[in-house]
């Protein structure tokens, strides 16, 4: 009999680990316990599924339990919730949600990949029909169901972060009247205010209302159905309310088992993805990530990181050796016609960490100005005031944002200096770039050495 | 009186140096001698100008001599050819091409930025009207003039490299019947055969004929006007012939002055852009470039490199300190709907240098498969068989090629290993990428350590 691997959570991190273990250990017995009814699907695709851009939920699902069984001999149990971990005896208590019964499963090596949950404050009226968080496929199906069954004209989105803005686009595509409310004086809080302003402009240009510095007090309803969101300043009529104010880790199970938590209550892991208890690993939205630029642990739950951490956990569990290099804080979102990308530290973050920095901000174009359809590109780059090492970049535009953010993410990974960007031998032809890439242009106007 | 800087050649390298000298030395007297009638224009835009995508030549011209004078106090003489360099006395002999007279100019510091010229073999019939090289604005104007004045239905392009393929597109846009002839068994010689095959397919799909392994013998004509290109195999009727088989450095002037030449007869320079004669610098298409991956000098004349070398030469001439980091061999071209990018070494090059390598080739998509308009992306990555350091990448597809080539160029610059690509924290949202970037996908299927 092979080594027994148990994995709690069958999404990105969990299934990445499971398949990686299988690659390294052909004899392994791999059991995955997933509370929901879907394994390993593209969570980041949910706004596009709700908005109708992706017509079928099936398109988002990588593999079924049957496929995992057939291809990888992985036993993935859906609708199975792990209710307790007993690290001393290496036992899990698992509840079959359909049959209502509990069973114990023994493991030799355990991965906790329980993901995160949408923050859903205890506002008055939050239980009204028509008020939704959005974190998983079930949430998406509920929203789709509600849109199909009920008359929805006005949508209020609470929270102007990635999910909030992607969902603003989704509801806009569905011809809804959309209002985005945020507590902060800006949208897109991971961007600095002047960069975030482009998102607001793009929403408003498309007829989406934006209400900033609005503290939500409650949801009002009639006959159990939401009709408005009230804030300290106003009441916003709403037939549907999406609460998108962030994600927190699902770490209670780990905490109860005595595992140490870290940043924002996420499970603390080392660079091998091991928790404080030997033989127990954690990966994905339930775990912390080391931030290469901040040089401290952070909590930035993203699918890319979940996949990386899952693979690394699986490698180490399966007898290999892999270490998580950390994140640099890269993210991108589409806001209607606009792409907004960021990597590294924002000015706010650099200030918060007391890192002395310089800023260079330029306006350029995604490719040669004379070649058709050259679009504006707004770049803001931060670098260390003393070492001149890159600290972060924010880029906004209609085309070519992803390219430069990934370029800058790679430069950040390599601790490159602002001045050295000019040394990069980047590809050039007029339809693709300028002879100096915009990030190199920014480099040349950065304050002198 | 300030130090006297002379620059031979007023295009990318020359004018980059001139403006850089001005930044560092406000008192400098800067004189630029340009043989042609245009300064500092976007040579890479010429195919798009000829094809009508860029309607006006003026759009390609960065600045006029008057603007250089006004903004930078740079004296740029157009239609002035330097006919001799006297390094001992630090004198240039300069012929005013309009007035036919020669004058001498003294300099303290000299930059040779004489560029390159299109190879134009001594084929019988090469002097016929309708047979053109394409290197500079004058060539482009001649081709435009010929197209306007003469009936041109059939165009034969000799050479299937960057210029040849970009011009095939240009003539195709002008509704000409286009044939591309190449001596080699493939187009796009800087790509490996299986990657180059996509270019052939794309041309043929658009009705452009491709004739490979065809050795050109002569041009035939009637009444002084070209009517056909004959090869060892066939005769190709032609109303216009473009010869695009490569570029060679304009280094005769330097050679006559006793300056050492290197690769392909280009001027040998060190990383400060100094030639073998103290006080004389060279930059751009007339000079060699250090190749970071090959670790030897090379000759890959490109606008990006000319700009970099020009700026570095200018910095050093003006009393600053800058060193050329070298090229990694990045290039990209648009072939109708296709983008073809490459960086580092091709398999052919690695073989030629006796570098032990492994190859990983994958087929992926430019963004999440379920998000609309996901396009095929073909990637080929080479890495060192022992050190596992990246050696090169070739990528072909309809979208997202430039992004990954620049990413790989940056990874090559940093001597990254194939396995470490998985560590990069790249930005992800379904419209922009997959959760693992295609280059990371390639990394995961690369042969194990």
Is A413 within 8 Å of chain B by CB?
A: yes
Which stretch of A229-233, B41-45, B312-316 has the lowest confidence by average pLDDT? B41-45
Q: How many CB atoms lie within 10 A of CB B307?
A: 25
Q: What is the pLDDT of residues A109-159, one digit of tens each?
A: 999 999 999 999 999 999 999 999 999 999 999 999 999 999 999 999 999
Q: Residue A140 in 3-state DSSP?
A: helix
Does the distance separating the beta carbons of A429 and B334 come in below 8 Å?
A: yes
Sign, CA torsion A203/A204/A205/A206: positive
Rounded distance between C-alpha atoms, residue B284 and residue B302, angstroms: 8
Torsion of CA B290, B292, B298, B300, to 10 degrees: -100
Residue B9: pLDDT over 70: yes
Rounded distance between C-alpha atoms, residue A165 and residue A188, angstroms: 8
pLDDT score at A136: 92
Q: Residue A313 in 3-state DSSP?
A: helix
CA B353 to chain CA centroid, Å, is 23
Q: How many CB atoms lie within 10 A of CB B372?
A: 12
DSSP string, A201-259: HHHHHTT-EEE-S--EEEEEEETTEEEEEEESS-EEE-SEEEE-S-EEE--HHHHHTTP
Which A-chain residues 201-220 have CB contacts (< 8 A) with chain B?
A: none
| Contact criterion met (CB below 8 Å) for B184 and B213 | yes
Which pTM value belongs to this model?
0.97
Name the stretches of chain A with pLDDT < 70: 449
Q: HSE (CB half, 13 Å, CA atoms) of B120?
A: 15
- Per-residue pLDDT, averaged over B370-377, amounts to 96
Encoded tokens for B83: 């006919």
Long-range contacts of residues B35-38, Cβ cutoff 8 Å, at least 24 apart: B35/B9, B35/B79, B35/B80, B35/B81, B35/B82, B35/B97, B36/B10, B36/B78, B36/B79, B36/B136, B36/B137, B36/B138, B37/B78, B37/B79, B37/B137, B37/B138, B38/B78, B38/B136, B38/B137
pLDDT score at A449: 61
How buried is residue B207: exposed, middle or buried, by Cβ count under 10 Å (0-12/13-18/19+)? exposed
Rounded distance between C-alpha atoms, residue B108 and residue B90, angstroms: 7
Does the distance separating the beta carbons of A435 and B303 come in below 8 Å?
A: yes
Confidence grade of residue B361 (pLDDT, cut at 50, 70, 90) = very high
Confidence grade of residue B86 (pLDDT, cut at 50, 70, 90) = very high
Residue appearing with tokens 């209002």: A179
- Per-residue pLDDT, averaged over B44-64, amounts to 93
Distance from CA of A251 to the nearest CA of B (A): 24
Rounded distance between C-alpha atoms, residue B109 and residue B196, angstroms: 44
Rounded distance between C-alpha atoms, residue A162 and residue B130, angstroms: 57
How buried is residue B117: exposed, middle or buried, by Cβ count under 10 Å (0-12/13-18/19+)? middle
Rounded distance between C-alpha atoms, residue A55 and residue A300, angstroms: 29
CA A80 to chain CA centroid, Å, is 24
Which A-chain residues 156-195 have CB contacts (< 8 A) with chain B?
A: 162, 166
Residue appearing with tokens 């009393």: B319
CA-closest candidate to residue A370, choices B166, B305, B42: B42
Does the distance separating the beta carbons of A403 and B343 come in below 8 Å?
A: no
- Per-residue pLDDT, averaged over B288-304, amounts to 97
Q: Which of B56, B429, B433 to mutate to test the interface with A (most CBs of A within 10 A)?
A: B429
Does the distance separating the beta carbons of B44 and A435 come in below 8 Å?
A: yes
User: Residue A407: which of B370, B406, B428 has the nearest Cβ?
Assistant: B406
Q: What is the pLDDT of residues B91-133, one digit of tens each?
A: 999 999 999 999 999 999 999 999 999 999 999 999 999 999 9
Catalytic pick among B44, B54, B62, B174: B44
Q: How many CB atoms lie within 10 A of CB B53?
A: 17
Q: Tell me which chain B residues have a C-beta less than 8 angstroms from the C-beta of A44.
A: 368, 428-430, 435
Q: Tell me which chain B residues have a C-beta less than 8 angstroms from the C-beta of A435.
A: 12, 42, 44, 303-304, 307
Residue B449: pLDDT over 80: no
Is A341 within 8 Å of chain B by CB?
A: yes
Residue B442: pLDDT over 70: yes
- Per-residue pLDDT, averaged over B292-319, amounts to 97
Does the distance separating the beta carbons of A328 and B53 come in below 8 Å?
A: no
Does the distance separating the beta carbons of B332 and A435 come in below 8 Å?
A: no
Rounded distance between C-alpha atoms, residue A135 and residue A9, angstroms: 14
Q: What is the pLDDT of residues B182-231, one digit of tens each?
A: 999 999 999 999 999 999 999 999 999 999 999 999 999 999 999 999 99
pLDDT score at A447: 81
Confidence grade of residue B83 (pLDDT, cut at 50, 70, 90) = very high
Residue B448: pLDDT over 80: no
């Amino acid at each position: 009999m092979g080594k027994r691997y148990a994995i709690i959570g069958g999404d990105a991190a969990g299934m990445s680990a499971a398949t990686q273990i299988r690659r390294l250990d052909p004899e392994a017995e791999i059991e995955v316990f997933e509370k929901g009814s879907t394994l390993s699907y593209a969570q980041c695709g949910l706004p596009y599924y709700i908005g109708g851009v992706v017509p079928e939920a099936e398109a988002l699902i990588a593999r079924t339990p049957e496929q995992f069984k057939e291809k990888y001999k992985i036993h993935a149990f859906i609708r199975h919730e792990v209710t307790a971990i007993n690290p001393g005896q290496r036992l899990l208590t698992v509840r079959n949600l359909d049959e209502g019964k509990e069973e114990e499963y023994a493991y030799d090596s355990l991965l906790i990949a329980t993901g995160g949950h949408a923050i859903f404050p205890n506002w008055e009226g939050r239980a009204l029909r028509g008020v939704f968080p959005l974190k998983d496929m079930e949430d998406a199906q509920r929203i789709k169901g509600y849109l199909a069954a009920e008359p929805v004209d006005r949508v209020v989105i609470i929270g102007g972060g990635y999910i909030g803005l992607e969902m603003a686009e989704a509801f806009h595509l569905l011809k809804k009247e959309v209002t985005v409310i945020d507590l902060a004086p800006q949208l897109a809080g991971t961007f600095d205010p002047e960069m975030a302003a482009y998102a607001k402009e793009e929403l408003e240009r498309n007829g989406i209302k934006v209400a900033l510095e609005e503290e939500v007090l409650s949801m009002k309803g009639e006959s159990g159905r939401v009709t408005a969101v009230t804030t300290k300043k106003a009441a916003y009529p709403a037939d549907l309310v999406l609460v998108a104010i962030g994600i927190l880790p699902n770490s209670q199970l780990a905490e109860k088992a005595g595992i140490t938590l870290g940043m924002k209550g996420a499970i603390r892991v080392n660079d091998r993805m091991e928790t404080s208890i030997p033989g127990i690993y954690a990966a994905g939205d339930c775990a912390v990530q080391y931030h290469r630029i901040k040089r401290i642990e952070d909590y930035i739950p993203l699918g890319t990181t979940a996949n990386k951490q899952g693979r690394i956990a699986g490698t180490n569990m399966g007898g290999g050796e892999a270490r998580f290099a950390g994140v640099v804080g890269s993210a991108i979102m589409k806001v209607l016609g606009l792409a907004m990308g960021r990597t590294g530290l924002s000015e706010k973050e650099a200030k918060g960490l007391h890192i002395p920095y310089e800023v260079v901000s330029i306006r350029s174009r995604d490719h040669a100005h004379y070649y058709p359809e050259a679009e504006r590109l707004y770049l803001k780059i931060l670098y260390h005031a003393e070492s001149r090492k890159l600290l972060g970049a924010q880029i906004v535009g209609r085309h070519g944002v992803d390219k430069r953010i990934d370029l800058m993410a790679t430069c950040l990974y390599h601790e490159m200096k602002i001045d050295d960007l000019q040394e990069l031998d980047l590809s050039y032809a007029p339809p693709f770039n300028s002879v100096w890439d915009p990030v190199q242009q920014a480099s040349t106007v950065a304050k002198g050495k």
